[in-house]
């Protein structure tokens, strides 16, 4: 059974801290891994990762994929209260054309 597991499920930090969110997966046929941020509206897409070891970066956010160890991390540096959200990880299954999502990590940034 295809599975995506995120950790931690919940995280509370102070503004300015750096956080690392984890996503591990066990799937039959990996195609890509995606990260989403969900605030008060529909989730917004952050990163799509297909190659191992290549970091993707957008401002204070970065993400990397390890296809050997079957995991990805999402880093947020110098966190701000606006980073408070649920962060979702999903894996696209090659051939089955489907996405398998993790449970999400609820990140709270306190001022």
Partner 1 sequence: AAGVIQSPRHLIKEKRETATLKCYPIPRHDTVYWYQQGPGQDPQFLISFYEKMQSDKGSIPDRFSAQQFSDYHSELNMSSLELGDSALYFCASSSGSSTRTSGNTIYFGEGSWLTVV
Measured between its terminal Cα atoms, the distance across the chain in Å is 41
DSSP string over 59-77: TTEEEEEETTTTEEEEEE-
| 103: its two tokens | 């449970």
Q: Name the minimum Å distance from CB 27 to partner 1.
A: 12
Give the position of tokens 């990880």: 89
29 or 103: CB nearest partner 1 = 103
Binding site for partner 1 (CB under 8 A): 34, 38-45, 48, 84-86, 88, 90, 92, 97-101, 103-104, 106
Provide the H-helix boundaries in 1-111. Answer: none
Nearer of residues 10 and 77 to partner 1, judged by Cβ: 10
- Nearer CB in complex with partner 1: 65/88: 88
Minimum CB distance to partner 1, residue 53 (Å): 20
């Amino acid at each position: 059974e295809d599975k995506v597991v995120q950790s931690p499920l919940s995280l509370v930090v102070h503004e300015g801290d750096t956080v690392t969110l984890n996503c591990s997966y066990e799937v039959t046929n990996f195609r890509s891994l995606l990260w989403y941020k969900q605030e008060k509206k529909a989730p917004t897409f952050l990163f799509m990762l297909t190659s191992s070891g290549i970091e993707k970066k957008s401002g204070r956010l970065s993400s990397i994929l390890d296809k050997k160890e079957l995991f990805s991390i999402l880093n947020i540096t110098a966190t701000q209260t606006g980073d408070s959200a649920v962060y979702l990880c999903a894996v696209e299954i090659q051939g089955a054309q489907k996405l398998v999502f993790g449970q999400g990590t609820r990140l709270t940034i306190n001022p």
